[in-house]
Every structure is written in structure tokens, then in C-alpha cells.
């Protein structure tokens, strides 16, 4: 019985120590945007016209903070490596995807622009990430597509911040490619950019 109490007290002490050791604050820069094979295949099979990528900014009805940082857990934050802007990170992700698919043409009359509308991460218990943007496609100056699309992700989180925070950053980063995938799947988008 005495041994059991010692183990319980020791365990409690170690868990407290672990909690202290594993909490802190850090800023994690997302990795540079890159293309994904899923989106490359989607784009190539969609029979889309080559397009230019226009401006991507935070939705004017939202707080400017939405564009600059996101809390992963407590004071641990993720930041964008593209001019410190998540809207521009989305723009760069779309650019990479179209480039790899052979569908990027800066001189095209078809232009895809966007507004960042949602960006959030919860990383206690079941983690949840949300990324939303309103995409606009114009051809010859006329709007052909204007729709908000949202990508979400859920995952199991760890109580250890040193594991949970990088995992949340990875999940959040993955939402950008996922959102572009949703855009490429959208029937109205494909119609607006059809050859």
C-alpha cells in the first residue's frame, strides 16, 4: 500500500513537471506552399483554362488579425512565411498547384482572386481546424464565380504541448491544400473556368 502511494505521488509530481516542461510559447512558421499530387490530378482532369492568380486579402468584414497569426495552443502561434499573411499563403498555394498542373498563365483573361474569411484552430481534446475563403473568378472582367468554400480537419490531440503544437501546425498547414482541392472539385468553379 505504501509503495502504491509512493508511485501515485511520484506520478503526480512527474506529470506536473511534465506539464511545466512542455508548455512554453513559440511561433511556428508554416512551410513554403507546395503542390500536391491529388490537386495536380484534379486540376489536370478538370479541363480548365489556364488562369492568372489575382489578389488574395483578408475579408474586409473580418478582423485584420485573421491574416497575421493563429493560436495553436495558448501563446503558441503559427505565422505565414509569405509576407506574414495567411491570405497570401493561400494565394501562393493556389499558384503552386496551378503551376504544377500546367494551368498557370499570368497573362490569362481568367483571374482567380480570393478573400480569407475563416481561420481557426482548437487543439485541446479533439483538435479542429477551419479555413475558409471566398473565391472569385473573372473572365474578361466579368464575374463568373463567387463563392465561399470551407475546409475543416479534426484530429486527436496530445496533452503534451511539444507534440500537440507541431501537430496542430501540420493540420492547419494541410488545410490550405485541402481548401484548394475543394475549389478544384466545385462544379461551378469548373464551369466558370472551362476551356
Partner 1 sequence: MQLIQNRSRLNIRALLNAGLVVATVVLTGCVSPTFYVDTATREVPVAELKKPAQPKAVQLLFDFQTKGAPNSRAVSFLKDQVVDQVKGSGLFATVDEKPVPGGAVLNVTINNIPEADAAAKGFKVGLTFGASGTKVTDNYVCTVTYLPPDGGKSIVKVSQHAIHTTIGATEVPQNVNKAESVEVAVRTMTRQIIGTALKDLSLDPTFP
Residues in contact with partner 1 by the rule CB under 8 A: 7, 10-11, 14-15, 17-18, 21-22, 24-31, 34-37, 40-41, 44, 75, 99-100, 102, 153, 155, 158, 160, 162-163, 166-167, 169-171, 173-174, 177
- For partner 1, the closer of residues 41 and 126 by Cβ is 41
- CB burial class (10 A; 0-12, 13-18, 19+) of residue 168? buried
Cell, residue 175: 488545410
Return the residue matching grid coordinates 484548394: 180
The least CB distance from residue 112 to partner 1, in Å, is 18
Q: Which phi and psi (to 5°) does residue 179 adopt?
A: -65, -40
Residue 113's closest CA among 57, 179, 173, 48?
Answer: 57
**What's the closest the beta carbon of residue 92 comes to partner 1, in angstroms?**
14
Nearer to partner 1, 45 or 143 (CB): 45
Q: Whose Cβ is closer to partner 1: residue 35's or residue 136's?
A: 35
Closest CA to 170 of 44, 59, 28: 28
Q: Choose between 22 and 120: whose C-beta lies nearer to partner 1.
A: 22
Amino acid at each position: 500500500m505504501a509503495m502504491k502511494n509512493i508511485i501515485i505521488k511520484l506520478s503526480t509530481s512527474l506529470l506536473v513537471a511534465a506539464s511545466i516542461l512542455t508548455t512554453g510559447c513559440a511561433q511556428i512558421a508554416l512551410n513554403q506552399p507546395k503542390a500536391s499530387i491529388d490537386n495536380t490530378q484534379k486540376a489536370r482532369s478538370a479541363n480548365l483554362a489556364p488562369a492568372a492568380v489575382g489578389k488574395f486579402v483578408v475579408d474586409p468584414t473580418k478582423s485584420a488579425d485573421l491574416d497575421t497569426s493563429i493560436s495553436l495552443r495558448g501563446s503558441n502561434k503559427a505565422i505565414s512565411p509569405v509576407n506574414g499573411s495567411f491570405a497570401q499563403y493561400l494565394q501562393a498555394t493556389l499558384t503552386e498547384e496551378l503551376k504544377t498542373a500546367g494551368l498557370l498563365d499570368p497573362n490569362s483573361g481568367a483571374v482567380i482572386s480570393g478573400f480569407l474569411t475563416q481561420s481557426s484552430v482548437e487543439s485541446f481534446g479533439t483538435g479542429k481546424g477551419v479555413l475558409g475563403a471566398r473565391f472569385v473568378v473573372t473572365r474578361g472582367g466579368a464575374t463568373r464565380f463567387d463563392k465561399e468554400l470551407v475546409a475543416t480537419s479534426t484530429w486527436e490531440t496530445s496533452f503534451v504541448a511539444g507534440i500537440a503544437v507541431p501537430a496542430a501546425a501540420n493540420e492547419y498547414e494541410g488545410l490550405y491544400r485541402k481548401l484548394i482541392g475543394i475549389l478544384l472539385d466545385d462544379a461551378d468553379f469548373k464551369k466558370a473556368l472551362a476551356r
